[in-house]
Structure 1
């Protein structure tokens, strides 16, 4: 389930990946929404679509790796590393991350990203 979600994202199949999400959803990426529009809370599929539109419209993926997925019942943590380039500034940023997930009835109901949002802000502001 979780592996399918990441496989679909990696293949650029955003709509199919969104089908793996419950609605409503507890989606959270920390950071200033005034500075970085795709940060913050989302609860609907349309809001998640907007997350991906904003993120992919403003930055280019240089690396995204899942190193390990740890599962405990309906809860999971995906550990990995990413690197992106902000298109407007040309600056790259990288961070290790822990992604907290919950799966209920075959759908992802919780998606909380824990990353270095300060590094993102620095790259975004130029």
Structure 2
């Protein structure tokens, strides 16, 4: 299977372009746009859950709504340990095939990323294809708010065993 594809369409085509096109800010306080795109670049490059969790504030406001009885990796998380647990569970249960960000709205400390993704559930072999929106906030270079919105019905359905 091919490696997941991360694409940025519209105003930004890569995290590097994003970083250079963002308004200048203090080097110690990068924009939300820069921090968010760097997180997704690192995720799709295969970074460890612990490395990814280091990008988050210990008091992160984390939310991915959905049916936690069926989809164990979603729901609220607390602290870097909770973030690392999310990425561990996601990696054990699903494989991201494609991840496309086509719009980034905002800059400074808060932004919204819009796009779509395709993920294969390893236990069922079914694909989840959904649009997404991330609401992200950054302070002092760390993610303090991480809310993801997707088609949670499709995600849960892809994990359900096939009825005979």
Q: TM-score, normalised by structure 2?
A: 0.73
Tell me whether 1:33 sits opposite 2:53 in the alignment: no
1:42 to 54, 77, 85: 77
Give the C-alpha shift of residue 68 in structure 1: 2.1
| Structure 2 equivalent of residue 109 of structure 1 | 144
Q: Deviations over 1:49-71 (max 9, x none)?
A: 11111111011111111112212
Q: Deviations over 1:95-118 (max 9, x none)?
A: 010000011121110000010000
Q: Which has the higher strand share?
A: 1
Separation of aligned partners in 1, 2:68 and 2:125: 20
Separation of aligned partners in 1, 2:127 and 2:37: 26
What's the secondary structure of 1:32's corresponding residue? coil
Gaps of 5+ in 2: 1-34
Tell me whether 1:7 sits opposite 2:41 in the alignment: yes
Q: What is the root-mean-square deviation in Å for CA atoms of aligned residues? A: 1.2
Structure-to-structure mapping, 1:78-97, within 5 angstroms: 78-97=113-132
Separation of aligned partners in 1, 2:43 and 2:108: 23
What's the secondary structure of 1:41's corresponding residue? coil
Aligned residues: 126
What's the secondary structure of 1:40's corresponding residue? coil
What's the secondary structure of 1:120's corresponding residue? helix
**Contact 2:111–2:137 (Cα < 8 Å) also in 1:** yes
Gaps of 5+ in 1: none
Give the C-alpha shift of residue 72 in structure 1: 4.3
Give the C-alpha shift of residue 73 in structure 1: 3.3
Give the C-alpha shift of residue 45 in structure 1: 0.8
Q: Deviations over 1:23-78 (max 9, x none)?
A: 11111111121111111101211111111111110111111111122124321001
Separation of aligned partners in 2, 1:95 and 1:125: 17
